[in-house]
Amino acid sequence: MPLETLAITVLWIFLYGYLIVASIDFGAGFFAYYCNLTGRDHIVNGIISRYLSPVWEVTNVFLIFFMIGLIGFFPDTAYYYGTALLVPGSIFLVLQSLRGSFYAFAHYGARNSKAYQFVYGVTGLFIPASLATVLTISEGGFLEKTGDEIVLLTGKLFTSPYSWAVVFLAIVSVLFISASFLTYYADRAKDTAAVKLLRSYAVAWSLPTIFASFLVFLSIHQHNPEHFANMMDVSWMFLLSFACFCGALALLLKKRNYGWAFILVMLQFAFAFFGYGQSHLPYLLYPYITIADSIASPAMSQALVIGLIAGLFLLIPSLILLMRLFLFNARYVEGRPVRK
């Protein structure tokens, strides 16, 4: 496998990990606020709090690895995306700071403050919407290069059907992934009322997710026909993604095997995410950056690959240990004291 292909594959794995872990986190925060608003917080708050407490601080590790690796492997991305994403990136940082601060306020300070829970819950939807801007810009047509100056065509970005389709998909995917996992988590806790409510959320957000996916397909066809043609070359990956979605929805509707349902949801997004990534190659940014032209020196890239793979093998066991100690510890999940 060429070095640049190996590099982008490792980075894409980190980004996929962030997609799943962050979606559960962001969606959990929103559902906590929504249930508080509708007077059903007593049903799910215990489940959500037990999930968020040990996890919320480690969510961004995947994103940090991805960003460091991306700039290290492909320095040109800093030049092009750095200018273009100054405003969206600043918005992301502000939202992330607000979310972290208000999580602490809502859970360790004024626990009954609806204002704190509102900020924490809503920023969890705005953050993926702001990050989706990166994927939108990568399709080309939103940047203009004049000499050495890169200009983001803000008006075109905000009036593009493709841009809004990606934002819509980002938001509904977060809610679907999170509700699917929390349903399984509530089932592990043997909390029948929480299972019933969270399962209804998972089913409710399933159809908007698949509808948004088709919208993105259609808008890519209009916005970037070359990428759409490449997607058709790996259409089997998207068909498998849809098959996994149908399997997950069937299990949710049958009210059984919620763990397998969530695994199918993860596979659904894995096939779609990696199919999108493969069809996007060799471009990192249409038409300016390709993985072959912009890679750093081979020696540095090899060192980065080794470092990132080592980080991946360190991160995954750490997450498994975290899950065994907290998330999948029977006593902890059920809200009982954990034995020392």
Judge whether residue 46 has pLDDT over 80: no
Judge whether residue 40 has pLDDT over 90: no
* pLDDT tens by residue, 181-198: 989 888 887 878 888 899
Residue of 50 and 117 predicted with greater confidence: 117
Average pLDDT over residues 81-109: 67
What is residue 57's DSSP assignment?
T
Specify the range with the lowest mean pLDDT, choosing from 53-57, 91-95, 221-225, 320-324. Answer: 53-57
Average pLDDT over residues 48-72: 70
Q: What values do phi and psi take at 287, rounded to 5?
A: -100, 20
Average pLDDT over residues 302-323: 74
User: Beta partners for 280?
Assistant: none
Q: Which residue has the tokens 């968020």?
A: 52
Structure-token pair, residue 17: 């990990």
| 100 — pLDDT class (breaks 50, 70, 90) | low
Q: What values do phi and psi take at 45, rounded to 5?
A: -60, -35
| 140 — pLDDT class (breaks 50, 70, 90) | confident
CA–CA gap between residue 15 and residue 277 (Å, rounded): 11
Helices 41-55, 3-37: crossing angle, 10 deg rounding = 150
3-state secondary structure 276-324: HHHHHCCEEECCCEECCCCCCCHHHHHHHHHHHHHHHHHHHHHHHHHHH
* pLDDT tens by residue, 271-282: 999 999 898 888
pLDDT at position 159 = 87
Average pLDDT over residues 139-164: 81
Specify the range with the lowest mean pLDDT, choosing from 91-100, 261-270, 321-330. Answer: 321-330
Q: State how far the alpha carbon of 79 is from the alpha carbons of 74, 91, 145, 277, in Å.
A: 10, 19, 11, 21
CA–CA gap between residue 299 and residue 303 (Å, rounded): 6
pLDDT at position 151 = 78
* DSSP string computed for 219-258: HHHHH-HHHHHHHHHTHHHHHHHHHHHHHHHHHHHHT--H
* pLDDT tens by residue, 199-257: 999 999 999 999 999 999 889 988 888 888 999 999 999 999 999 999 999 999 998 88
| 37 — pLDDT class (breaks 50, 70, 90) | confident
| pLDDT > 90 in the chain, percent | 21
Judge whether residue 89 has pLDDT over 80: no
In the predicted model, what is the mean pLDDT of the chain? Answer: 80
CA 174 remoteness from chain centre: 7
CA–CA gap between residue 336 and residue 13 (Å, rounded): 35
